[in-house]
Structure 1
């Protein structure tokens, strides 16, 4: 780059920073690496366990939301947060082995898995922006992440009603909504996403990640059965058919 061109670009960036504090040099370059997008490492993830690891900005917002909920005697507990590619791979391949050993054809096993579980490299939990939450002050059922626990006489009804009224104030949005027209993953009233980070990550994921190529490169068990038709449908329904506020 010529010196005059560099000075011109630097001047524009500096002016933008002065007018719009949230603007940064990231606007001139790639925002996220491939590894960040598919869960193979992210320097912005903080925490020391699968229930505490989150993107640092999401963690700050969650802490504020948790404090607000405590005023209503609701103790928001995270049961799952950041999940690495490797961990998702272990979950996925474990289910694939179990279902095929039970006699399911590989294609049917894949369909069964994606009712609730994501294919490694495609999980929103890879970003550190998404959390599965319950109310620790309520009686704990044997199976906590079930829709009926959040409705009717379920133990987490109070939490769900509070989230309906307040979660968006902290920029957390329900991902897989109870919408009869929505396809893909089934309704998850416990799964919320921190939009200021997850929205741009999803946008870049769409632009940069070829899911078929990624699955082949990462040698995921059963990848030879990921037809183009299957993956195309999965991407459309399971990755992008979500709460419109997160698109």
Structure 2
């Protein structure tokens, strides 16, 4: 290739990445294993606890964001990061047992669970890219992950304002936005995702994971009540009806 042609192509590529930054996020030809996509193991996860385990590149970006926030006297604390398939299974099945023992039908129990909790094998937390965060410098309410804590006179308003203005600079985006037209999981102002990794992982998840088949293979409690119609609706609303910047 001639030098002038190389410079021209390089310039075009640089301009494309500036206009469409998601193109630089990851090599979309990279393949992830089934286990990586459903939370059953990922060699790129680093950390030693449920609040520190993250995908290694997400962790590097988070540390930069945390340092920037600290300059504004905001101490970003992770209350949940990577969550394994087994841990999500324990959460889901624990709630399923409790709700059905209280008299709810299996279908109603599942509907109640998925207001906030994902079905194991479908959680974005399985990827190590998604974080639930608060401000450790603010007074700690009894239940930290409540929308009212991030708005009005809520204790995490300063954090939320800062994230609205700065999170995208570090490639983090709110997942379940406060959009009245959005369906699926309820609004979560504390939940942010590292787009450079979560976008390609979601892309492969959509292409490779048959959710109904996976739930049956993994013997998730209550899976016999996951009809084709339910799973189709769940994928459309709970997995895909998210911030468009993360699609």
TM-score normalised over the length of structure 1: 0.89
Q: Which residue of 2 aligns with 1:41?
A: 41
Q: Which residue of 2 aligns with 1:240?
A: 240
Q: How far 1:208 moved relative to its partner?
A: 0.1
Number of equivalences? 226
Q: Which residue of 1 aligns with 2:204?
A: 204
Contact 2:28 2:200 in 1 (8 A): no
**1:51-92 per-position Cα deviation (integer Å, ceiling 9, x unaligned):** 000000000000000000000000000000000000000000
Map residues 111-122 of structure 1 onto 2, 5 A cutoff.
Answer: 111-122=111-122
Cα root mean square deviation, aligned: 1.6
**1:114-170 per-position Cα deviation (integer Å, ceiling 9, x unaligned):** 000000000000000000000000000000000000000000000000000000000
Q: Which residue of 2 aligns with 1:153?
A: 153
Q: Which residue of 1 aligns with 2:190?
A: 190
TM-score normalised over the length of structure 2: 0.89
In structure 2, the gaps of 5 or more residues are: 1-12, 15-22
Map residues 1-247 of structure 1 onto 2, 5 A cutoff.
Answer: 31-247=31-247
* Structure 1 runs (4+) greater than 2 angstroms displaced: none
Q: Distance in 2 between matches of 1:69 and 1:80?
A: 19
Task: Name the SS of the counterpart of 1:133 in structure 2.
Answer: strand
Q: Which residue of 1 aligns with 2:19?
A: none
Q: Distance in 2 between matches of 1:107 and 1:138?
A: 39
Q: How far 1:27 moved relative to its partner?
A: 6.0
Q: Distance in 2 between matches of 1:31 and 1:77?
A: 31
Q: How far 1:31 moved relative to its partner?
A: 1.5
Aligned in 2, Cα 1:169/1:97: closer, same or farther, shift over 3 Å?
same
Task: Name the SS of the counterpart of 2:77 in structure 1.
Answer: strand
Q: How far 1:238 moved relative to its partner?
A: 0.1
**1:96-124 per-position Cα deviation (integer Å, ceiling 9, x unaligned):** 00000000000000000000000000000
Task: Name the SS of the counterpart of 1:187 in structure 2.
Answer: coil
Task: Name the SS of the counterpart of 1:142 in structure 2.
Answer: coil
Task: Name the SS of the counterpart of 1:77 in structure 2.
Answer: strand
